[in-house]
Structure 1
């Protein structure tokens, strides 16, 4: 009987711990997602009720016109143009990041060359350099190339620099792939490029998807880069389009801004939902196989 009581006590304690854990996770999740829910609710409110009724998540009356007004954009430039611009820049940046990062990562993880350690140290150090340090030299360089007011400063560096974070992420994943696969491919007559294309790339799918998701989100949300290099309204991305709703010298259309901000979250949400499995797998495997 005493053993049964001890066993029941352990089960009760385990259930209580499980309940408390899930309660904490749910409460923490609600706190994290509340600003997004508030923004979505505010996108359906009149401007006069957004801040006067900020504690209420129910819009009364519901104002769907905020989405129509926001979608019309400014002047002759609709918000659909901003979405297309962001999609164009983001897709090319993701492609360029994957091409350059995988190539550099394969070189560090599998090839032997002079000053390899030195360049790897430079790679790690570059991860610690904030963007503000290189911002002015980059602007001077791109201005000398007459690339200002174009997408080239935003896209071209991705094809040649990738990103230290993505390179390191893929290096860690490739190091976890057995070298015996490379040796077997070499015996079958496969070249270094063949090993990279036929062996490494297919096995790096989780890491590549993880890098793609991060590159997509960071590029889609980027505000400082387009703000520095783009001057023409027709070239603006979504982040700059949202900024145009805020006018300190006049009345800010908060409802339309929140409506377009809600729509701007949809691409990121869809990407995360569809590729969540690969994201978790890529982060877990790169962490374990370092």
Structure 2
């Protein structure tokens, strides 16, 4: 019986790995196709049947992208917005999470529930009132609508992750610091933050991906082509290409947009998993 049970488990494991392998191939296939097309020559992009391996490899698509599109300007604009959003989110959300995790008041749970409930409100329902407000403030066609909300702790998910981690942190250290004359902000700045690098990195990573890939916000609030982000620039590039079958330049630009996120996840996967587990399962 034991031998039969072991054989059954081995068969189930093999089937499971086969299914996971097929699914992995299906998920990776579009990325492989994008990578392949980015290095093809013009005639290879319209060949039928299509081939995955470019012969020969060509940088023609990248040269065309740099010639017809200010891609470096789009990247710079995206990096500015991403950097401000990461800084604002880490600063404001960590302070709010510290308050929810350390201070006691009767309405604390009610306010935290209201904060979490904002995650269930679709962003598209807020576009019209937000656009009207930013128009009155004369913020349209500036990066302010895309960056200022990050400094106001509007990212409820980040507040939740940080609060969960802060709750798992022993309060005895806070009390010891307070007895030594440390202020509440000193406890936050000197005790909690230095020990929260992993979870702060996870919040920064989520913020980076969300801001880097944001298309709808820059499209609504930015009117000047010089201020476009990379996500909007890709759509402008697609529009300039028209109905051509040569997707080489488009795939090259898409590859440039994907590389930062891909490298970030590839090099920091250990910290990402560790931060999610630490912040999400405790508290």
TM-score (norm 1): 0.89
How far the C-alpha of 1:51 sits from its partner, in A, is 5.6
Alpha-carbon distance change, 249 to 63 in structure 1, aligned in 2, over 3 angstroms: closer
Cα-to-partner distance string for 1:149-198 (whole Å, 9 max, x where unaligned): 11111111111134011111111111111222212222222221111111
Q: Unpaired runs of 5+ in structure 1? A: 1-5
Tell me the equivalent position of 2:256. 263
Q: Unpaired runs of 5+ in structure 2? A: none
Alpha-carbon distance change, 53 to 192 in structure 1, aligned in 2, over 3 angstroms: farther
Tell me the equivalent position of 1:113. 105
1:221 aligns with 2:216: no
Tell me the equivalent position of 1:285. 278
User: Do 2:96 and 2:153's aligned partners in 1 also have CA atoms closer than 8 Å?
Assistant: no
Match of 2:146, SS state, is: helix
Tell me the equivalent position of 1:69. 64
User: Do 1:96 and 1:162's aligned partners in 2 also have CA atoms closer than 8 Å?
Assistant: no
User: Do 2:41 and 2:60's aligned partners in 1 also have CA atoms closer than 8 Å?
Assistant: no
User: Do 2:71 and 2:233's aligned partners in 1 also have CA atoms closer than 8 Å?
Assistant: yes
- Alpha-carbon distance in structure 2 between the residues aligned to 1:110 and 1:143: 38
* Aligned counterparts, 1:175-194, within 5 A: 175-194=167-186
How far the C-alpha of 1:249 sits from its partner, in A, is 9.0
Alpha-carbon distance change, 20 to 161 in structure 1, aligned in 2, over 3 angstroms: same
Tell me the equivalent position of 2:123. 131
Of 35, 46, 52 in structure 2, the residue corresponding to residue 57 of structure 1 is 52
How far the C-alpha of 1:266 sits from its partner, in A, is 0.9
1:99 aligns with 2:94: no
1:231 aligns with 2:223: yes
Please provide the CA RMSD for this pair: 2.1
Out of 60-69 and 258-267, give the one that drifted further.
60-69
1:171 aligns with 2:145: no
TM-score (norm 2): 0.92
Of 35, 42, 47 in structure 2, the residue corresponding to residue 40 of structure 1 is 35
How far the C-alpha of 1:54 sits from its partner, in A, is 6.5
Tell me the equivalent position of 1:30. 25
- Alpha-carbon distance in structure 2 between the residues aligned to 1:54 and 1:154: 44
- Alpha-carbon distance in structure 2 between the residues aligned to 1:169 and 1:104: 11
Aligned pairs, number: 282
- Alpha-carbon distance in structure 2 between the residues aligned to 1:54 and 1:99: 53
Tell me the equivalent position of 2:233. 241
